Amino acid sequence: WNHRPDGPEATNALTIKPDQSDQATHLLDRTSGKVWRAKTPSVPSDPSQAFMNGVNQVLEEAGIAASDLSRVLHGTTVATNMILEDKGARTALVTTQGFRHVLEIGRQDIPRQANLFTWVKPARPVPAERIHEVRERIGTGGRVLAPLDEASVVEVAEALRRQNVEAVAVCLLHAYANPAHEERVVAILREALPGAAITCSTDVLPVVREYERSLATVLNASVMPGVSNYISRLEDRLTAAETASPLLLMQSNGRVAGTEAIRISPALTALSGPAAGVIGAIDTARACGIDDIITVDIGGTSADICLIRGGSVSLTQQGKVGDWPLSLPMVDMVTIGAGGGSIAAVNRATLSVGPGSAGAVPGPAAYGKGGTAATVTDAHAVLGHLPRALLGGTMTLDVEASRQVVTESVARALALTPEDAARGILAIMNNNMVGAVRTVSVERGHDPRDFTLMPFGGAGPLHGCALADLLGISRVLIPPAPGLLCATGLLAADMKAEFSRAMPAPGPVDQAEGDALFRELTARARDWLDAEDVDEEVREMRCRALLRFKGQGSEIAVDWGESAVETEARFRAEHEGLYGFTLEAPIELVTLRVEAVGRTEPAVASLLDPAPMPKPLQMQAVHWQEGRADTPIYDRAALGAGCVFTGPAILTQLDTTSIIEPGWTAMVHSSGALLLTKESA
């Protein structure tokens, strides 16, 4: 963790998008604040090669040897893609006799946007024939009701061998209260199946709720072989480059952990890309003196929206990856199918945009790779929002192709001009995202007008002003490198692990019992911090209690108090803040959790020098809502601190294009961020 504290740090971050065609790499010298950035193509056949290509490129540009690095941090989509694309290992589930249908039963609810009458339950991640039962039974309080029949475990091992399974998830009833049987089953299976990856629920999610615990364990087991092999390839490449620095990977909770922890629980990385972006957004806003932000990360396929209040990220254990709930701690955000590649189509005289995407191949027609569907990117091209030369001049847009697909797919069917059709595409796209913003703000008691909107990702700054106008937000903050913010977030991320213990049975807060369990969890947390070589002065530990009113189905996490009265008072206050009311009902303590953190000390800030407003690179005709106007295009890299200009204007840079719409004023902050404010009426 503190290897070569005076050395630079490299980060390589892959975004969450499964169809991403490039990746971002940052190199930071913490002593000077200087940053080198690169964007390199992905290598789908071997992502570790793309990882090393990016690291080598920034090292060469900086003139720094790999052996001088202090840390290497990485955000990976390997686990995510395997879950989304159902390409994990051939996995089996071992459970308690009588409970083999827990995955099939699942929960009674359906996805929020699904049709009640037409929704079809997706196929389970483990088919019924690969779910096996062992004879044993532990009660809710952890008492053994029926001893483990080891002969039944041996029989299951033989069946698993015949089925040629590559990974096994072990999830026994109430193992969170007493893991003895589960640990013995794992030991027998590891001896009988030496080549299989075997994981148990007490290592992944030792909490109540059988379906969520079983599913998390299954998903974790299915990605274990792939993630473990990937980490090994990364480590081999770093070793070959003579890099002695530790490799840390981003988790879904917005913090990093060492490779051994990720090998045990690879599902912790399922949403590492969006989480890294949120951490980068918080760091960018903090440099500008802003604490309350709404982030909108728009890529090629999806948009991730998150609300940050007081500069702190909120976590949830009710997140999802694809069709599956994954009850591991992750940044609380909403994801919708809305990105630069989202396809626009007309069906029965109705225009829709997304969630289908053109992906990276063939991509939008504007990219000249054979795309034939009208996309959001094509709509921007038709309206003139994009300069013809992108990616530092290495890519030229085919605007005529965009105009053709928008005309054929949308304009002709609706009897519109191509420009009006393009505006319609963007209007639907923006309103879809407004709905997601309202989900994380208005539906949770927050007025979005009290926040600063921060758009980022490859397509985010194209939509910032339009989204702010729809939401009534008067301030927009665009990071210095919006398309690379996930990599930036890795540099600001702390190291973190969480250690949980479900109560044997939910009940009133017992201070003495809770204190005793927290001492046990704190000892485990301290062992982890020691193993990760985290210095004492940067360690933090936080004791949290998950409580609910009796009869509720979900819990709220609050800090553990000095007394039961204090803890319950915190819960009531948090419940009222979230939902606007409390209940006259008993409070139940469900789970205890210790959060262990190794803080990352902030790097020296690298500030922009003041400079006069540069001349435009060129003027380009743009079709704004107010009408067609010749609009200046500026090179963002030429803007110095203090530069102020009014829209309309377009900024071009390596990783994205930013739009400053009419009525907005832009000011370049000394941190390099761009602060946009709405002119008063």
Whose CA is closest to 105, among 120, 90, 85, 121? 121
Is residue 405 within 8 A of residue 373, CB to CB? The reply is yes
Of residues 78 and 229, which shows the higher confidence score? 229
Residue 554: pLDDT over 90: no
Q: What is the mean pLDDT of residues 6-16?
A: 44
Residue 604: predicted pLDDT = 67
Residue 87: predicted pLDDT = 86
Q: What is the mean pLDDT of residues 426-446?
A: 91
Q: What is the mean pLDDT of residues 283-293?
A: 94
Residue 533: pLDDT over 50: yes
Residue 19: pLDDT over 80: no
C-alpha to C-alpha distances, 190 to 97, 150, 172, 186, 195, nearest whole angstrom = 20, 14, 16, 6, 8
- Indicate if the alpha-carbon torsion angle 309, 268, 597, 515 is positive or negative: positive
| CB-CB neighbours of 600 under 10 Å | 22
Residue 4: predicted pLDDT = 39
Tokens of 220: 């974790």
- Tokens 């008072």 correspond to 569
Query: DSSP character for 609?
Result: P
Residue 534: pLDDT over 50: yes
As a three-state string, the secondary structure of 543-587 is EEEEEEECCCCCCEEEECCCCHHHHHHHHHHHHHHHHCCCCCCCE
Of residues 360 and 80, which shows the higher confidence score? 80
Q: For all residues of the chain together, what is the average pLDDT?
A: 88
Confidence of residue 628 (pLDDT cuts 50, 70, 90): very high
Confidence of residue 391 (pLDDT cuts 50, 70, 90): low
Q: What is the mean pLDDT of residues 344-372?
A: 86
Residue 601: predicted pLDDT = 77
Lowest-confidence range among 27-36, 232-241, 555-564?
Answer: 27-36
Residue 24: pLDDT over 80: no
Of residues 427 and 492, which shows the higher confidence score? 427
Q: What is the pLDDT of residues 495-524, one digit of tens each?
A: 888 888 888 778 899 999 999 999 999 999
- Tokens 């922890």 correspond to 261
Q: What is the mean pLDDT of residues 329-345?
A: 87
Whose CA is closest to 617, among 638, 594, 640, 633? 633
Whose CA is closest to 300, among 625, 480, 77, 28? 77
Tokens of 124: 């389970």
Residue 18: predicted pLDDT = 33
- This prediction has a pTM of 0.84
* Residue 150, SS3 per DSSP: helix
Confidence of residue 563 (pLDDT cuts 50, 70, 90): very high
Q: What is the pLDDT of residues 248-286, one digit of tens each?
A: 899 988 888 888 889 999 998 888 888 889 999 999 999
Q: What is the mean pLDDT of residues 82-111?
A: 88
Max mean pLDDT range (59-68, 204-213, 450-459): 450-459
Max mean pLDDT range (50-54, 358-362, 502-506): 50-54
* Residue 238, SS3 per DSSP: helix
Helix-then-strand count for the chain, H and E: 17, 36
The rounded percent of the chain whose pLDDT value lies above 70 is 95
The rounded percent of the chain whose pLDDT value lies above 90 is 54
Between CA 24 and CA 256 the distance in angstroms is: 17
Task: State the Cα angle at 336 between 415 and 555, rounded to 5°.
Answer: 150
Residue 17: predicted pLDDT = 33
Query: Which residues on neighbouring strands pair with residue 298, listed in sequence order?
Result: 303
Is residue 501 within 8 A of residue 589, CB to CB? The reply is no
Query: DSSP character for 408?
Result: I
- Tokens 């953190």 correspond to 597
Q: Dump the DSSP string for 15-44.
A: -S-TT--EEEEEEE-TTT--EEEEEEE--T
Dihedral angle of Cα 536, 494, 229, 48, to the nearest 10 degrees:
-130
Residue 81: pLDDT over 90: no
Residue 8: predicted pLDDT = 57
Annotated domain spans of the chain? 9-83+228-269, 91-214, 495-598, 618-678
Q: What is the mean pLDDT of residues 614-639?
A: 93
Residues 6+ apart with CB under 8 A from 294: 305, 306, 307, 308, 437, 440, 441, 448, 451, 452, 453, 454, 473
Residue 119: predicted pLDDT = 80
Q: What is the pLDDT of residues 295-321, one digit of tens each?
A: 999 988 888 899 999 988 888 877 878
Q: Listing from the earlier edge strand, what are the strands of the sheet with 556-559?
A: 35-41, 22-28, 9-13, 71-75, 247-250, 256-258, 495-507, 587-598, 539-549, 556-559
CATH 3.30.420.40 fits domain 9-83+228-269? yes
Residue 681: predicted pLDDT = 43
Residue 113: predicted pLDDT = 65
Residue 83: predicted pLDDT = 84
User: 495-598 architecture in CATH?
Assistant: 2-Layer Sandwich (3.30)
Q: What is the pLDDT of residues 145-159, one digit of tens each?
A: 999 999 999 999 999
Tokens of 415: 């009897």
Residue 15: predicted pLDDT = 31
Between CA 277 and CA 296 the distance in angstroms is: 10
Residue 115: pLDDT over 60: yes
Q: What phi-psi label fits residue 207: left (phi over 0), alpha (psi between -120 and 50 degrees) or beta?
A: beta
| CB-CB neighbours of 363 under 10 Å | 23
